Structure 1
Amino acid sequence: MTTVHPALERADALYELRRYDEAKTVLGQRLTEDPEDVRAWVRLARCHLRLENEADQALEATERALALAPEDIPALIQRAYALRAVDRFPETEGVLREVIRLDPEYWVGYAMLGDWLWRIKAYRYGRENGGRHPGNRIPQVFLEESGELAKEAMRLAPEEVFPLEVAWLIANMAGNGTVADMLDQAILRLDPNHPQALARQTQKNAETPGVKAAEAATLYADALAVAPDSATMQQGLDDASYRLLRGVRWLAMLCMLFAAAGIDLFTEGQAQRALPLPLGQRLWDLIPMTAIWAVGALLRYRRLRMGVRYNLRSLINRRRWPRIVLAQAAWAMLCALLLSQVPWTERTVPEYVFWAGLIPTAATILFDRRKRT
């Protein structure tokens, strides 16, 4: 078993705490004692890469390590990262191929090369064609070897997530949605909290045709409980919550139509009721409106997950359009109450009230059918 120097252990602990400058100080002291400590040079390069504008120092540290041990795999890996950081990206291909040559059973070399090779080919394509990019769809020829490398990495390390991530990216760029979906499921089997795969699968399930707003909101809320920092899933929950809020306008318009029917607003001739309606009839008209809101809004709201309820309230405070939706529902409901509860003696003014409540609300419903929050 290889013994790790205490200074390197301290540096590793500081690195894990993201105290990179302090880790560099510890490693610098160690290298003063022993300038030929390859492990210290590799760790120093790793620290430099975590800090802004220190890529050149990282590359220099890897050069010192490789001068002492030309076939050291960790030093070669850090050199590849350093070359990429100093805009010498194409050179990383040779370094990673050397890693694979030195250790054909080391999955990291295959995964990294698979992840970077198609990018290197695209970069070279641009250099050879006057800076012209190959386009939104990466040519299949750029992806073929990357795909094979990712497969080999998965074979060597079936319990590692990174090879699956690389394979997913390649399948996605190749337009192979079925394979990408299978890889997402494989990623989630290994890491149920994987934020990107979880977000993609949740979004796919929530956007399946036939899934209602409440179901979509529940899916996003469940996913956020697992990965609370996912901006994609928060946006999805906001969109689903907004769809729920838009439904209240339909309830208000239904009440308004019921109120208009109650005073025979659009019925002519002898079938029209005499105005004003009796007080008892006007009060009776409140019962179906109450039932509409109790079943359509209150009961539905109480059945929502607690997280969705909280998000609904939060969304109203955070965004403008949800407040507009509620204001429109309130306006339409006010018009419904005016139609049903005021003792009108003729129908001209109620017609104006009806259209004043209906037209702005209906027009906005059509406008924001596909609107997101």
Structure 2
Amino acid sequence: MSGTTTHPHVERAEALYGMERYEEGLALVDRRLAEAPDDHEAWTTRARCLRTLDRFEESLAAAEEALKLEPELADGHFMRGCALRSLRRLPEADLAQREAIRLAPYRWGPRVQRAEMLIFIGTKEEALQEAHEAVRRGPDEVATWHTMYKVAAFNGRNDLVQESVRQLLRIDPTDSLAVGDVTWHEANKPGTTAERAADLYAGALAAVPDSASLRGDLDRAVYRMLRGTRWLALLCLVMAAVTLDVLPVGGEEPKDLPVHLGTRLWALALMAAVWGFGAWRRHLRMRAGARMAVRDLVRRLFWPRVVLGQAALATLCAVLIVLVPWTDRTIPQVLFWLGLVPNLLSITHDRDKVR
């Protein structure tokens, strides 16, 4: 490998890459290559930027240009392997990473790549062995423990999965994979309510705001909570039906109409208590992030609006049944079925509408 000094343009491009300013880094390294097309380090940096920008064919071509200039360049073989893996050419990618390991056995990057590929083209034992070696070479690197987590999960090694989570939280307490794993297990404990799960995911998302998986988990918990409001609405509807004896049982004398005002007011008070303690009080006790997630989910997606609309319809029908001094049961019966049927039609098959 050449002992030449890295050009300032290449150094700055690498720094821009580290700051996730990939397009700027690519533009800068292209300027360097226009001046010195034989700079193998510039070609390697170009391959790195292009791969991150999902331009895999160009990344592969850049890595191969670097290797034409410097065949024993470990980073060139590493980037070539990464590009080949992105192109789903796993056997070739594996050979490239093995060459990178031969040239630089102390580096953990090629071993991380190999361990994850061996899940598909090797054996479980080989993948686990390479993951162990990656961790040994980079015990304080997030990437090595991410790989160990994946390989251990594939091997059914829950002990190593939990060890990976512990190490990730030691290195970075805001690591999205580790925080998501801990939160998921806590939220899925038996007996955990939808409100509690939403609170947990909202708290985790506050620590890791860019986690798409946590945001999806929060959406599902909030949707589960919204689905629960329909049962409160149906309970109110049943209470209203009982108050007016909307569906009298055959052989029994139905209640006289109109029902006494005091009885109807008592039914309204019970409905208010159902909603107050069953939904509103719990809503107020939730984290601000979880409350905001409720509004955001209803605004963004169709099915949460459907669920809330059905709950609102059933509650409105219940209120109308007991609020108006009806002298005939026909309209209360229509209101009862109007509130009940839409909920029954969807309540059994809309569980997984938010994914």
Secondary structure (helix, strand or coil) at the match of 1:172 reads helix
Deviations 1:207-246 (A, max 9, x none): 3321110011111111221222322222221111112112
TM-score by length of 2: 0.83
Deviations 1:249-296 (A, max 9, x none): 222222222222323443688876432233344334322222222222
Match of 1:137 in 2: none
Match of 1:28 in 2: 33
Q: Is the 8 A contact 1:80 1:92 kept in 2?
A: yes
CA drift at 1:185: 3.5
Alignment partner of 1:157 is 2:125: no
Match of 2:126 in 1: 145
Match of 2:321 in 1: 339
Relative to structure 1, the CA distance from residue 280 to residue 143 in structure 2 (aligned partners, 3 Å threshold; closer, same or farther) is closer
Pick from 239, 247, 263: which aligns with 1:258? Answer: 239
Q: Structure 1 stretch 81-90 or stretch 245-254: which is displaced more? A: 81-90
Relative to structure 1, the CA distance from residue 223 to residue 269 in structure 2 (aligned partners, 3 Å threshold; closer, same or farther) is same
Q: Read off the aligned partner of 1:315 and give its amino acid letter.
A: L
Which one has a bigger Cα radius of gyration? 1
Alignment partner of 1:175 is 2:156: yes
CA drift at 1:48: 5.2
CA drift at 1:303: 0.9
Q: Is the 8 A contact 1:55 1:86 kept in 2?
A: no
Q: Is the 8 A contact 2:303 2:353 kept in 1?
A: no
Q: Is the 8 A contact 1:65 1:75 kept in 2?
A: no
Q: Which runs of 5+ in 2 are unaligned?
A: none
TM-score by length of 1: 0.79
Same amino acid, percent of matched pairs: 40
Separation of aligned partners in 2, 1:15 and 1:4 = 16
Aligned length: 346
CA drift at 1:304: 1.3
Output aligned runs, 1:1-373, within 5 Å. 4-16=6-18, 17-18=21-22, 19-28=24-33, 31=36, 35=38, 38-47=40-49, 49-50=51-52, 52=55, 53-67=57-71, 70=72, 72-84=73-85, 89-121=90-122, 142-265=123-246, 266=248, 273-369=255-351, 371-372=353-354
Separation of aligned partners in 2, 1:267 and 1:105 = 82
Secondary structure (helix, strand or coil) at the match of 1:343 reads coil
Relative to structure 1, the CA distance from residue 249 to residue 209 in structure 2 (aligned partners, 3 Å threshold; closer, same or farther) is same
Q: Read off the aligned partner of 2:30 and give its amino acid letter.
A: T
Separation of aligned partners in 2, 1:225 and 1:361 = 34
CA drift at 1:328: 1.8
Q: Read off the aligned partner of 1:313 and give its amino acid letter.
A: R
Deviations 1:81-126 (A, max 9, x none): 35556776434434433443444433334333223344444xxxxx
Q: Structure 1 stretch 211-220 or stretch 283-292: which is displaced more? A: 283-292
